[in-house]
Amino acid sequence: MATRTITQGFEAFHSKITPGGSISGKASSHKQSITRRLEDDFNLKQLFYSGSANNGTSIAHHSDVDLFASIPTDKLKANSVTSLREIKESLQKRFTNTTVYVDSPAVVLDFGSGDWDTAEVIPADYLRTENGKSVYHIPDGSGGWMESAPSLHNSYVVTENDRLGKKLKKLIRFAKAWKYYRDVPISSFYLELRITKWMESESTIAYDIDMDTIFRKLDACGLAAIQDPKGISGLVHACSSQAKKEIALSRLATAKIRSAKARAAEKAGNTKNAFSWWDLVFAGKFPSYTYTNSLFV
């Protein structure tokens, strides 16, 4: 029976967790409906993808669709909580059978019909252009507004991904897969920035080595906030509350132990055992050590 190397296992895993075209099509249909509603009620300038959906680091069956809604300043309120409530009420009237709620900085629409079927609409007030990228004000979670530049952050990740042989985004996807499969309440944006910043000093990526390193570094820093490497968003926090941070740290400690055991098994020449430990890291979703008919299952 044919067997895989660890690298082949991670490559097969990446294929498994990458969303397919049908999911993207469903997201697009929601985007068009949301656009029409916000154009009518808020003179929407533009609705565009941001976050994982735009960066190519989303996870099949788990990642939602982040949408920046560029709205004229005179259609927004000084208190961002008020704007979020008004946008929520508008979208609820359009999507009467959909669960719509506020989870700052976004209004969330849970369409509830399957894969990748939640959209997060983030109201955005255009401020300026910096290095050719647009900077916006978005809700800060406390009634105020904070700066954000999704295209600038995307460019940052893309640049490092290209330098690292197109492997950085895959590495970020693996970290996000762990987050979703193990229900770890860590911000995806935080993971993306942390990992990209750490990999700036690396010349190559080896998935198993670097995933183990990421777990160790996240644990060592205690999930401390990171200063936005592009100097736009200020401090980016790992978790939205201290209670969630404690949960995340506990699950991180477990992942660190398991990835270390996976690495030790591989170094000892026991690749089968290494696969078993990586499977525990990813909650039983990692590909099997053996396969038949050249199919990665």
Residue 195 domain-assigned (yes or no):
yes
In this structure, what DSSP letter does residue 74 have?
G
From the list 199, 186, 249, the residue with the least C-alpha distance to 229 is 199
Q: Which tokens in the block code for residue 104? A: 């700052």
The residue whose two tokens read 């709205």 is 71
Helix (H, G, I), strand (E, B) or coil at 259: helix
Residue 297 domain-assigned (yes or no):
no
Quick one: pLDDT at residue 244? 94
Question: 225: which residues sit within 8 A by CB, 6+ positions away?
Answer: 235, 236, 237, 238
Q: What would the DSSP string read from start to end of 29-55?
A: HHHHHHHHHHHHHH---EEEEEHHHHH
Question: 69: which residues sit within 8 A by CB, 6+ positions away?
Answer: 34, 38, 42, 44, 46, 47, 87, 121, 122, 123, 124
Contact in structure between 153 and 89 (CB atoms under 8 Å): no
d(CA 261, CA 209): 12
Quick one: pLDDT at residue 296? 46
Residue 253 domain-assigned (yes or no):
yes
Residue 55 domain-assigned (yes or no):
yes
Q: Which tokens in the block code for residue 278? A: 């990586």
Residue ranges making up the domain that contains 272: 2-291
Quick one: pLDDT at residue 61? 78
- Does the reported pTM lie above 0.95? no
C-alpha distances in angstroms, 258 versus 175, 218, 278?
A: 14, 14, 7
Quick one: pLDDT at residue 66? 86
Question: 242: which residues sit within 8 A by CB, 6+ positions away?
Answer: none
Helix (H, G, I), strand (E, B) or coil at 8: helix
| Structural domain count, the chain | 1
Quick one: pLDDT at residue 163? 98
Write the CATH number for 234: 3.30.460.10
d(CA 37, CA 119): 14
Positive or negative, the CA dihedral 238, 243, 248, 254 is positive
pLDDT in tens, the chain (297 residues): 799 999 999 999 999 999 876 555 555 678 889 999 999 999 999 999 887 766 788 888 787 788 999 999 999 999 999 999 999 999 999 999 899 999 889 999 988 765 457 888 999 999 999 888 899 999 988 899 999 998 889 999 999 999 999 999 999 999 999 999 999 999 998 999 999 999 999 999 999 999 999 999 999 999 999 998 888 888 889 998 899 999 999 999 999 999 999 999 999 999 999 999 999 999 999 999 998 655 444
Quick one: pLDDT at residue 55? 75
Q: Which tokens in the block code for residue 31? A: 């985007």
d(CA 102, CA 203): 41
The alpha carbon of 200 is separated from its chain's Cα centroid by a whole number of angstroms, namely: 19
